[in-house]
Structure 1
Amino acid sequence: MAAATFDWGDSYDTKDWNRLKETLAPEVMVDYSAVRGKPGETMSAQDFVSMISDAKFLGNPLILTQHFIGASKYEQLAETMATGLHQIRAAHQRYSASDKNIVEAKGHGHATMLHTYRKIEGKWKIAGIKPTVYWNEFDFDQIFV
């Protein structure tokens, strides 16, 4: 589970969308309402990757991030199901141009991330994603404009 969580965050930051898809169960319950204001929904792994990698979200090449995962605690609910609650600081910067010399906006989220995991063919995969935002620094609302 820790490996899936690490790869999840690092794939966001490196924009490695194939790696992200590998961390996911075939269907994912996604509740980004605390970040994007949209209600949670179940979607295919591919649809989730398409949403995250969209140019209006993390796929924007002018947006750099670091999803830093602090302490984690896990609870195994069944042989093939578990949850993980992770402290997270998600740093975001949007640059004005591809040379990345001028920061146009920065915003950092402080939150916990609840992941639901399912064991599929012997590997733990992320089947649920729900952040709880405690607070944001700077102009987080200006990152995805």
Structure 2
Amino acid sequence: MEALDALDHVAINDVLCRFFLAFDERDWGAMENCLAPEVFIDYSSSGREQPSTMSGTEFVQRRRDAVDTLAKHHSFSNLLLSKDEDGVRGRCNYLILRFDRDFNGEGEDFYHSCGAYEFRFGKVQGGWKIASITQRALRSWGNRQLHGGTRKADG
């Protein structure tokens, strides 16, 4: 395993910050700018989408189509990056807080999740992009029906 250059580490961390912030702000253009043209996605551990490869544009469209109205806050920690012959592998822990826009601090008007993400990053036109996302869900709590992706998976 080859050491990752410090500037590459900072650049990849920046891509992840912009990617997660794009979810929170529903900034679909910014989200697509973080993705490679083709992206492998695996959200199966949370009972959502089965593993598949799709275009970055299709990934963003699926996020848009979830049409939830939740206020969201994505955060990540413990980012570990390692370089290999295919690019860079990454792993981080995540916490996603989701609240119904009318949440008043009581009841079940929230749905939160935590776990880990595994990423692969590659260079596209000189910049780092996300080429693979695998979610390793640890725990979710709250009102599952608030989450658009979960509702679709439940039928």
Which TM class, normalised by the smaller chain length?
0.7 to 0.9
- Cα distance in 2 for partners of 1:20, 1:77 equals 25
SS at match of 2:49: coil
Answering whether residue 58 of structure 2 is matched by residue 52 of structure 1, we say: no
Relative to the length of structure 2, the TM-score reads 0.80
User: CA shift at 1:37, angstroms?
Assistant: 3.0
Number of residue-to-residue matches in the alignment: 136
- Cα distance in 1 for partners of 2:49, 2:29 equals 25
Which runs of 5 or more structure 2 residues have no equivalent in the other structure? 1-11
Note closer, same or farther for the CA distance 1:52–1:36 as it changes in structure 2 (3 Å cut): farther
Letter matched to residue 117 of structure 1: F
Residue in 2 aligned with 1:121? 125
Note closer, same or farther for the CA distance 1:15–1:87 as it changes in structure 2 (3 Å cut): same
Residue in 2 aligned with 1:139? 143
- Which structure: greater helix fraction? 2
Identity among equivalent pairs (%): 21
Relative to the length of structure 1, the TM-score reads 0.85
Structure 1 residue ranges (4+ consecutive) displaced by more than 4 angstroms after TM superposition: 101-104
CA RMSD of aligned residues (A): 1.8
- Which structure: greater strand fraction? 1
- Cα distance in 2 for partners of 1:116, 1:127 equals 5
Computing the radius of gyration from Cα coordinates, the structure with the larger value is: 2
